[in-house]
Amino acid sequence: MGRSLWILGALATVGIIVTAVFGFGLRSPGDPGMPRHIIAALASTLPLMLAHSWIFLYLLGTGRVIRSAVREGGLDPSPLARSRRLRRICYPVILLAAALVLATFLVGGAVAAKGVPPWVHQALFWAAIAVQAGALWIEWRGLAENESLLVEVDRRLVAAAPVSAAGA
């Protein structure tokens, strides 16, 4: 599931870049390309926010699964520390990327209303795309490590399980 969410985030990132291309050179809300820019922004921002939110929740949920499996299975607690470290690395970047993309989208509306100068929107875009690139990298590595951690805990649970009396 995590990898499919990551792919959604990667595709939405491409959409954000396409949105920037559509917006390049627009000078006023009345420009003929503005509706295309706005629709592309909405169509790429929403899936990106969905992907980040669900990756965040996926890591949180699998962390709880690992914690309960370790406690109930009486396993060595080292996977818990790895799971916590993984979340400490991933969460700030996920939240920052989501916040910057959302801020870029919202400030775009303020630029169209002539309440904010266009350079603010453009600066937010460049910051958002840079952080988003880093977030994709960190999410990919984090999801891969999370998957291997789940497999390791599962393997330990199987190894620790008592042999069934019916099989003897």
Contacts of 60 (CB under 8 A, 6+ apart): 87
Question: What are the φ/ψ torsions at residue 165 (nearest 5 degrees)?
Answer: -70, -25
114 φ/ψ sector (left φ>0, alpha ψ -120 to 50, else beta): left
Query: In the chain, what are the domain boundaries?
Result: 2-160
> What tokens appear for 110 in the block?
């303020």
What is the distance between the alpha carbons of residues 96 and 131, in angstroms, rounded to a whole number?
Answer: 7
Task: Give me the pLDDT at residue 166, please.
Answer: 53
Task: Give me the pLDDT at residue 72, please.
Answer: 87
Tell me the mean pLDDT per 10 residues along the chain, length 168. Answer: 89 96 85 92 96 94 91 88 92 96 95 91 96 96 93 88 59
Task: Give me the pLDDT at residue 163, please.
Answer: 59
Q: DSSP letters of 66-124?
A: HHHHHHHHT--SHHHHHHHHHHHHHHHHHHHHHHHHHHHHHHHHHHHTTSS-HHHHHHH
What is the distance between the alpha carbons of residues 20 and 44, in angstroms, rounded to a whole number?
Answer: 11
What is the distance between the alpha carbons of residues 103 and 139, in angstroms, rounded to a whole number?
Answer: 21
Residue 16 amino acid letter: I
Q: State the DSSP code for 130.
A: H
Task: Give me the pLDDT at residue 1, please.
Answer: 77
